[in-house]
Copies of this chain bind each other. A is one copy, B any other.
Amino acid sequence: MVEQPVEEPKVEGFAAALVRQMRAEDTHGHWERKSDAQLLEPFILDKEKRRAIPIIGDPDPDTLWRLQLFYGALCLEIERLTRRMVQPMMKMSHEGFGRMVLIGGRLVVLNKQLRDVHRFGFDSIEKLNAEAEKMLGQAVGMIEKFPEVADY
């Protein structure tokens, strides 16, 4: 009898773009044998996992790296949709509080107050996609509203 592989959720939408970005950074091929869902696993924090993390804490380097991957992939998606170069800038103040801005030309296309960065994550891949879609919509909307600033 052939062993059935475990059915994994199909990774689509922004999550697929995020995975592409992660694999692009994997220059040594460490993750070649990992599935898309496995790569996304650290981004998913369900209620139980979240509860296991202290309420106040400093973000560790892996979490900061995931945050940068997420917003970096968001920039690439905004670029794909609007044909404008967009770059992230982050300011961390203390204990996981900070600010992330995505800048295109002279326009802040997305402005995000960060809090609880040490608990950065999403309930599910669907929630990750929904959150990203919302932010993409806001960013594209800003560029459509102020194209001359984005092109400045």
Contacts and interface: CB of A to CB of B under 8 A. Distances in A.
A94 interface: no
A146 interface: yes
Contact of A108 (B99, B107, B148): B107
A129 interface: no
Contacts of A103: 101, 108
A142 B103 CA distance: 15
13 contacts: A89-B90, A89-B91, A90-B91, A101-B101, A101-B103, A103-B108, A106-B107, A106-B111, A106-B142, A106-B146, A107-B149, A146-B146, A146-B149
Copies of chain A in the complex: 2
Interface residues of A, number: 15
Contacts of A99: 89
Contacts of A101: 89, 101, 103
A105 B145 CA distance: 15
Contacts of A148: 146
Contacts of A146: 106, 146, 148-149
Interface string A85-106: 0000111000000010101011
